[in-house]
C-alpha cells in the first residue's frame, strides 16, 4: 500500500496511490458503499494506530466515472467514510502535481457527493469550488448536559455541521480538551433529541466560532470531527457551511472574502456565488504541502494488521 502524506494548513491527508482494494466500477457513491461493506479492514489499517493516528484523513484514489475528471477519490477517517473533504481535496491536488500527474490550473475531482473543481494556483496553493452548500435549519435550541441550553444552525458543506452560537471556553490551544469535551456533549445531545440533517442524516461535525486572533481574519473556529479529533485546518466543508449561514443571514455578499482562522492559527480564504436553487457554491483557498511518502506493510504474525481495535489477523 503506497501512500503520499500531505498537510493542508496543518491538517493531515494520506493519499493511497497504489495497493488499495478493488472496488470495481460504478459511481463513487456505489464504490464507497462497496468499500464500507467489503474492505473496511483496509480503512482501519491505513488510519488506525500503529500506522496512522486519529487526526489523519485517508483518501483512496479511484478511476473517475466522469471522464472530465482528473481523478476520483473516496475520503475516510478513523470512524468511517466522508462525503467530501475540503482540506483533503487540496492535499490531493498538491499530491497529484507533486507526482507529475496534473499541471497548474483547473482540474475536476469526482467525490461520492459530486464533482469539485480544484484550481492549482501554485504547487502549494489551491482553490476548491466545493459542492453546493446550504443552511438546513436555523436557531435550533438544544439542551446540552453540563452546558445548558445552546442554539445553533444545521448546515451542509459536503458534510453535516452543527454551528454553535457562543463558546463554552475561549478558542485557545490550551482549551483543546474542554472544547473537545463540550463538542462531544453537543453531538450526544443532537443524537438524543433526534436532530438531524436532510433525509435523517447524522450531524457528525460540531463547530464553535469566536473572534479571530489575527487582525486580518474574520473569525476563529474549532471543528470537532466524527472520530473525536479536532481539525487543525479551518475545515473546508465547515467553512462552506459557515458561508451558507452567513449568506442566509445576509451577512456576506456573493464574491466577498471571508478569512477563516483555525484553532492553530492557519487560515482559509473563502467566498461564494449564489446558485439558482437558493444554495451557494463556496470557493475555499488554502495551502497544502507534501510531507511524506512510504509503504504500509502487514507482516505475518502482526497482532494489529488492521490497527489497534481492528479485526484480528
62 is catalytic: no
Q: How far apart are CA 84 and CA 28, in angstroms?
A: 11
225 is catalytic: no
In sign, the C-alpha dihedral spanning 93, 94, 99, 102 is positive
Q: Are the C-beta atoms of 237 and 268 separated by less than 8 Å?
A: no
Phi/psi for 170 (5° steps) reads -60, 150
Q: How far apart are CA 8 and CA 135, in angstroms?
A: 26
Q: How far apart are CA 279 and CA 15, in angstroms?
A: 30
The count of other CB atoms within 10 Å of the CB of residue 215 is 5
Q: Are the C-beta atoms of 243 and 252 separated by less than 8 Å?
A: yes
Q: How far apart are CA 170 and CA 178, in angstroms?
A: 10
Q: Which of 45, 85, 225, 245 is catalytic?
A: 85
Supply 228's cell numbers: 473525536
Residue numbers annotated as active site: 85, 235
Amino acid at each position: 500500500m503506497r501512500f503520499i502524506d500531505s498537510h493542508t494548513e496543518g491538517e493531515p491527508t494520506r493519499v493511497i496511490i497504489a495497493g488499495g482494494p478493488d472496488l470495481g466500477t460504478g459511481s463513487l457513491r456505489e464504490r464507497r458503499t462497496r468499500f464500507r461493506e467489503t474492505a473496511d479492514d483496509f480503512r482501519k489499517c491505513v488510519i488506525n494506530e500503529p500506522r496512522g493516528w486519529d487526526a489523519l484523513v485517508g483518501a483512496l484514489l479511484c478511476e473517475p466515472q466522469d471522464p472530465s475528471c482528473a481523478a476520483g477519490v473516496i475520503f475516510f477517517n478513523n470512524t468511517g467514510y466522508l462525503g467530501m473533504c475540503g482540506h483533503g481535496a487540496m492535499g490531493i491536488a498538491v499530491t497529484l502535481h507533486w507526482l507529475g500527474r496534473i499541471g497548474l490550473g483547473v482540474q475536476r475531482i469526482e467525490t461520492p457527493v459530486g464533482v469539485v473543481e480544484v484550481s492549482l494556483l501554485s504547487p502549494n496553493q489551491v482553490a476548491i469550488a466545493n459542492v453546493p452548500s446550504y443552511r438546513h435549519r436555523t436557531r435550533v435550541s438544544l439542551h446540552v448536559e453540563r452546558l445548558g441550553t445552546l442554539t445553533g444552525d444545521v448546515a451542509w458543506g459536503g458534510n453535516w455541521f452543527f454551528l454553535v452560537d457562543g463558546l463554552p471556553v475561549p478558542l485557545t490551544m490550551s482549551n483543546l480538551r474542554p472544547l473537545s469535551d463540550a463538542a462531544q456533549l453537543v453531538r450526544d445531545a443532537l443524537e438524543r433529541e433526534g436532530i438531524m440533517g436532510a433525509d435523517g442524516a447524522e450531524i457528525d461535525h460540531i463547530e464553535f466560532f469566536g473572534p479571530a486572533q489575527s487582525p486580518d481574519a474574520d473569525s476563529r473556529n474549532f471543528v470537532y470531527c466524527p472520530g473525536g479529533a479536532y481539525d487543525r485546518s479551518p475545515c473546508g466543508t465547515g467553512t462552506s457551511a459557515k458561508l451558507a449561514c452567513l449568506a442566509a443571514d445576509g451577512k456576506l455578499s456573493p464574491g466577498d472574502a471571508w478569512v477563516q482562522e483555525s484553532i492553530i492559527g492557519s487560515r482559509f480564504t473563502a467566498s461564494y456565488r449564489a446558485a439558482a436553487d437558493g444554495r451557494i457554491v463556496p470557493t475555499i483557498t488554502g495551502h497544502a504541502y507534501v510531507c511524506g511518502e512510504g509503504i504500509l506493510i502487514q507482516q505475518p504474525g502482526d497482532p494489529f494488521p488492521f490497527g489497534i481495535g481492528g479485526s484480528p489477523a
